[in-house]
Amino acid sequence: MQTPLVDNFPSDRLRRRDVKTLLLSALGGALEFYDFVVFVFFAIPLSHLFFPPDTAPWLAQLQVFGIFAAGYLARPLGGIVMAHYGDKLGRKRMFTLSVFLMAVPTLAIGLLPVYAQIGMLAPLLLLLLRVVQGIAVGGEVPGAWVFVAEHVPAQRIGFACASLTSGLTVGILIGSLVAAAINSRMTPAEVLDHGWRLPFLAGGVFGFFAVWLRRWLSETPVFEAMHARKELASGLPLRQVFERHLPGVLLSMLVTWMLTAAIVVLILMTPSLVQSAFHVVPARAFLGNSVASFALALGCLFYGWLADRIGYARALLSGAIGLLVCGYALYFDLQAGAAHFVALYALAGFAVGVVGVVPALMVVAFPPAVRFSGLSFSYNIAYALFGGLTPPLIGLLLKRFGVLAPAHYVAFTAAIGIAVAYAQLRRRHA
């Protein structure tokens, strides 16, 4: 069942101020998400620098993926707290706070001493800063979806949420391009010496710029209308979610599982996996990832547009099937020698664009008074559980099931997306 966002939009067309809101929100989200994901693009040098030199390479990389995962495990804390105040005090305030909380630890990571300088304190500080990043992004992503969805007509929710998701994926593209540039222009020794610091220092600057950008945004019409009519949630919004909206929670967590596998495995982890498991050189790995990330940004916009025209469930069904097929195509090609790696990675990236449908499904699953809390809790708990465990899980599955393990995992979660879409369509026609 789709819950209307607001009842006083004069038309279903995007207005000029809506377009401005989408552009500013997407740009700010891109800069913040770059800060969060650039960590994984430098997992290999970080594994050498922040752990004892006699650590086995596979174990050091698994430990770095574990620290990366800690950011996901911390997301529910930031998401629940910021969502509570977002439902009580307004969406815009939390939308600005989250990006500030991301900028500070990203800059600090770029300044951290390494294991050779301070011993075991180095990975512990890295872990702490990663947790702060997770708290920040836990409020940012669901808050951003609610913010843009409540600024546009109900008939454009799919495209609005997808445009924000596309902006977030542009952050991945920026990270991939930065990683590609550093790996192509610096020797491995230079990357280990100082090159790895550059993307984090730049990320801190990006984050503070994003804070400045959000000064130009206004509160959502939906929240202002609820505030004027005294319809804001009383008590704990999250308690109302548990009491009245558990089906929306379940739906949101299942589609988030598919989203995490698509993004974490195919976009974030694959550049490192193709180097370690398939011996693709770093420059080619990050070239492929840059092309795939650009295709992902386009794919999000396409699926958001499609969702507004054929319905969220049908768009999810077609996209999940495409994700399953393209994930296997990419990894079978890698197993066969990676002759078509860049082209198939681009195709897989576009297929991952089905994640652009996910936020619209979650936004309309909750009424406005508890929307931020319901979406944030569901999304962040699922991402902490599934996204946080995915990197170490993939590492273990690779040792047990071989190089196709990532594709098997993505296919399994795509099947979950297909099942959710089918259930939604059956309920609609019941």
Q: pLDDT-based confidence at 212, cuts 50/70/90?
A: confident
Cα 39 from Cα 18, distance rounded (Å): 33
Cβ(254)–Cβ(420) below 8 Å: yes
Q: Does 332 have pLDDT greater than 90?
A: yes
Backbone phi, psi, residue 231, to 5°: -110, 15
Q: What's the token pair of residue 3?
A: 């819950």
Write out the H or E segment, with its range, that includes residue 294.
Answer: helix 282-310
Q: pLDDT-based confidence at 12, cuts 50/70/90?
A: low
Cα 215 from Cα 415, distance rounded (Å): 41
Taken in order of first residue, the domains within the chain and their CATH numbers are 16-215+237-429 (1.20.1250.20)
Cα 129 from Cα 231, distance rounded (Å): 38
Write out the H or E segment, with its range, that includes residue 344.
Answer: helix 341-352
Cβ(62)–Cβ(359) below 8 Å: no
Dihedral angle, C-alpha 140, 142, 146, 147, nearest 10 °: 10
The confidence score (pLDDT) of residue 406 equals 92
Q: What count of Cα atoms within 13 Å lies in the side-chain half-sphere of residue 79?
A: 29
Tokens 């974030």, located at residue: 268
Q: Does 326 have pLDDT greater than 80?
A: yes
Cβ(355)–Cβ(300) below 8 Å: yes
The confidence score (pLDDT) of residue 1 equals 43
Give me the percent of the chain exceeding a pLDDT of 90.
30
Cα 360 from Cα 358, distance rounded (Å): 6
The confidence score (pLDDT) of residue 269 equals 87
Task: Name the pTM for this structure.
Answer: 0.79
Cα 362 from Cα 366, distance rounded (Å): 7
Worst-scoring range by mean pLDDT, 86-90, 148-152, 162-166? 86-90
Count of helices and strands (H, E) across the chain? 21, 0
Calculate mean pLDDT across residues 356-372: 90
Give me the percent of the chain exceeding a pLDDT of 70.
95
Classify residue 394 by burial, with Cβ atoms within 10 Å: 0-12, 13-18, 19+.
buried
Cα 358 from Cα 384, distance rounded (Å): 17
